[in-house]
Amino acid sequence: MNTTSVSLNKFVAGTGICSRREADRWIEAGRLAINGLTAVKGNRVAEGDVVTLDGKRLSSKPPPVYLALHKPAGVTSTTDRKDRDNIIDFIGFPERIFPVGRLDKASTGLILLTNDGDIVNQILRAENDHDKEYIVTVDKPITESFLRRMAGGLPILGRRTKRCTVEQLDVRVFRIILTQGLNRQIRRMCEFLGYRVRTLKRIRIMNVELGDLPVGHWRKLSPDEMSELDRMLRP
């Protein structure tokens, strides 16, 4: 085996066009080719190989872009341009970027966007246990039992959620810090206990805070934020 080769999904993610997970889906769909031959899972890319997506050669990796957006309600965390509420058209950034993970359409708050597929893979890897912090308003008064059971873990989607930090802020408002990202996790946890989420706002991902960034606005991550993020993501 060529020791300088890399896995195809890593090569594609390294161009900044998508995450490794998305690259795997493209391989399965037959959209990627190496030197004119349709790629399959397990393929590797060596120096001099030509990789194409839908017949178009993938260009070299552009300069990295790391953005923090205060997502409003109604915007979908997808790159699918067929969805008229997609986050890419909403942000209107001149270079190709994609969201790191998801935030429900009805939810607001911090979401990161980048063209760096490797960092997406690192942040989303569940075993890294990276904090995500939310402020949640529910439809009725919060009880001690609710706080205790939310923090201790609940059975949703065929598994038990990890223990987490929960703190009451007001009669119907609480703060929660998760280290996993199951589909609609907070909403499902609340529903399991007989509550409905009225508003859900993410205010932090790892060391990156939403702060006073206005709704619908975005900013670039600072050098200090990037330095700390890199430190936290190191194996």
Digit-coded pLDDT (tens) for 30-51: 999 999 999 999 999 988 899 9
Strand locations in 62-164, DSSP E? 66-71, 98-99, 108-114, 132-138, 155-156, 159-160
CATH architecture, domain defined by 131-205: 2-Layer Sandwich (3.30)
Q: Per the residue annotation, which of 54, 89, 104, 116 is the catalytic one?
A: 104
Looking at the chain, list the stretches that DSSP marks H as alpha helix, in order from N- to C-terminal side.
8-14, 20-28, 87-91, 117-124, 144-152, 185-192, 223-233
| Amino acid at position 104, single letter | D
Which CATH entry fits the domain spanning 66-125+208-233: 3.30.70.580, 3.40.50.11290, 3.30.2350.10, 3.60.20.10?
3.30.70.580
> What is the rounded average pLDDT of the residues 17-32?
91
* pTM above threshold 0.85: no
Domain 6-57 has CATH 3.10.290.10: yes
Residue range(s) of every CATH 3.30.70.1560 domain in the chain: 131-205
Residue range(s) of every CATH 3.10.290.10 domain in the chain: 6-57
Does 104 participate in catalysis according to the annotation?
yes
Residue range(s) of every CATH 3.30.70.580 domain in the chain: 66-125+208-233
Residue 126's pLDDT is 58
Q: What is the DSSP letter of 101?
A: S
